[in-house]
Amino acid sequence: MAELHLNGVRKVYAGGVEAIRGVDLEAEDGEFVVIVGPSGCGKSTLLRMVAGLERTSEGEIRIGERVVNDLEPAQRDIAMVFQNYALYPHMSVFRNMAYGLNNQGRPKEEILERVQRAARMLQLEGLLERKPRQLSGGQRQRVAMGRALVRDPKVFLFDEPLSNLDAKLRVQMRVEIKALQRGLGTTAMYVTHDQVEAMTLADRLVVMNGGVAEQIGRPLDIYQRPATRFVAGFIGSPSMNFLTAAVAADGRSLELPGELRVPLSARAGPTAGRQVTVGVRPEHLHLSPGSGPRLTLSVGLIELLGAETVVYGHPAGHEEAVTLRVQGVPEVTEGQDLELGLDPAHVHLFDARTGRSLSHPDDGGAV
């Protein structure tokens, strides 16, 4: 058990690809850190640098009190769960789990006891003599977890461990992973591109883009106060609606095409005439417009999900498509014109050029 510190970490691959462009990250003891981001943003690279599988080009990685930059993976006191599990195919489940302990030269009884305890926790007791190929995907996943567990490491590292499972099993394993990690109180670093996993698992969420951490924070904070347009669009499903707008001459409101005006709260102070991007989450548009600003939407596709309904459409006078998410099953038909209410309190403003948030300028990570 230990804290994890990343300090100005950079990674340049041999070919000159700069995969990580300077990441600072701190995880407290026992914290569950989730790294989320689009494909190719450097999530795996960052995790593998912590594991010691990739050299760190610059910066410092610290686990507990130790700087681990120059240590071999086995010396870092970490355990890793791979996306395709990487179980040794010729070894039994028991041997797979015991291999790391064997290499540490632990006594036989201790190995036996530790493996059995891990097997009990993961309900693998009856499977210890099987080979990996005789297991289902979910069981393999458990064995991979078990292999990490028996080592009793300071940090667990997970690289998209659930992406090979079907949807139902994924939910189940997600809950189990969280419960296990809580129970053991071990610091964990978890890479995923599934934002439900990210939101539910994380104590601390890192949203990465193009090799930098765009924002680091608690999941809800990131949802409520995204620091950049990218984060706003990436977190939340369906993703946030973006409309271009300009600040009115008096600096008090926003002018959007279609005669739409949105009053600006005092806290955001963009200068008059400035181009901005307005962001509104689909769940913050509502069907019963009050006295506030409203948006006329000509309805396109409708997705009925039962508990909620997602409506896609085009607002009058705007280029961008708009998504609306409402509870239950509303009375909406395709082709209809809908009047939508827009709550100014839930409007996010972003600089049209840099993408930085104008509503929450103080949040965010190492941008």
Ligand X SMILES: Nc1ncnc2c1ncn2[C@@H]1O[C@H](COP(=O)(O)OP(=O)(O)OP(=O)(O)O)[C@@H](O)[C@H]1O
Query: Which parts of this chain interact with ligand X (CB under 6 A)?
Result: 13, 15, 17, 19, 37, 39-45, 193
Among 2, 44, 228, 281, binds Mg ion (CB under 5 A): 44
Q: What sign does the CA torsion over 133, 136, 140, 146 have?
A: negative
Which residue minimizes CB distance to ligand X?
44
- Residue 193 touches which of another protein, Mg ion, ligand X, none (Cβ within 5-8 Å per kind): ligand X
Smallest distance from the beta carbon of 14 to ligand X, in angstroms? 6
Residue 53 binding another protein, by CB under 8 A: yes
Interacting positions 177-236 with another protein (CB under 8 A): none
What is the footprint of Mg ion within residues 214-233 (CB under 5 A)? none
Would you count residue 78 as binding another protein (CB under 8 A)? yes
Q: Which amino acid does the sequence have at 226?
A: P
- The residue from 67, 74, 179, 220 that contacts another protein (CB under 8 A) is 74
Name which of Mg ion, another protein, ligand X, none residue 62 binds, using a CB cut-off of 5 to 8 Å depending on partner kind: none
Residue placing its CB nearer to another protein in the complex, 42 or 217? 42
CA 163 to chain centre: 14
Q: Please state the three-class secondary structure of the chain as a single string.
A: CCCEEEEEEEEECCCCCEEEEEEEEEECCCCEEEEECCCCCCHHHHHHHHHCCCCCCEEEEEECCEECCCCCHHHHCEEEECCCCCCCCCCCHHHHHHHHHHHCCCCHHHHHHHHHHHHHHCCCHHHCCCCHHHCCHHHHHHHHHHHHHCCCCCEEEEECCCCCCCHHHHHHHHHHHHHHHHHHCCEEEEEECCHHHHHHHCCEEEEEECCEEEEEECHHHHHHCCCEHHHHHHCCCCCCEEEEEEECCCCCEEEECCCEEEECCCCCCCCCCCEEEEEECHHHEECCCCCCCEEEEEEEEEEECCCEEEEEEEECCCCCCEEEEEECCCCCCCCCEEEEEECHHHCEEEECCCCEECCCCCCCCCC
Least distance in Å: CB of 111 to Mg ion?
Answer: 32
Instruction: Report if residue 84 touches another protein, rule: CB under 8 A.
Output: yes
b/e per residue 142-151 (b: at least 16 CB within 10 A)? bbbbbbbbbb
Of 189 and 324, CB closest to ligand X: 189
Of these partners, another protein, Mg ion, ligand X, none, which one is at the site of residue 289 (CB under 5 to 8 Å by kind)? none
Measured from the CB of residue 20, what is the shortest distance to Mg ion in angstroms? 13
Answer with the entry of another protein, ligand X, Mg ion, none that 86 interacts with (C-beta below 5 to 8 A by kind).
another protein
- Which segment (26-34, 85-93, 253-261, 322-330) binds another protein by CB under 8 A? 85-93
Contact region with Mg ion (CB under 5 A), list: 38-46, 69-77, 84-92, 252-260: 38-46
Which residue number places its CB atom closest to Mg ion? 44
**Residue 367 near residue 23, CB atoms below 8 Å:** no
15/126 with CB nearer ligand X:
15
CB 107 within 8 A of CB 114: no
Q: Which is nearer to another protein, 103 or 288 (CB)?
A: 103
Near another protein by CB under 8 A: residue from 15, 16, 65, 72: 72
Here's the x/- map for another protein, 93-122, by CB under 8 A: it reads as: ------xx--xx------------------
* Site track for another protein across 129-148, x = CB under 8 A: --x-x-------------x-
List residues near another protein by CB under 8 A. 51-53, 72-74, 78-80, 82, 84, 86-90, 99-100, 103-104, 131, 133, 147
Interface residues toward Mg ion, by CB under 5 A? 44
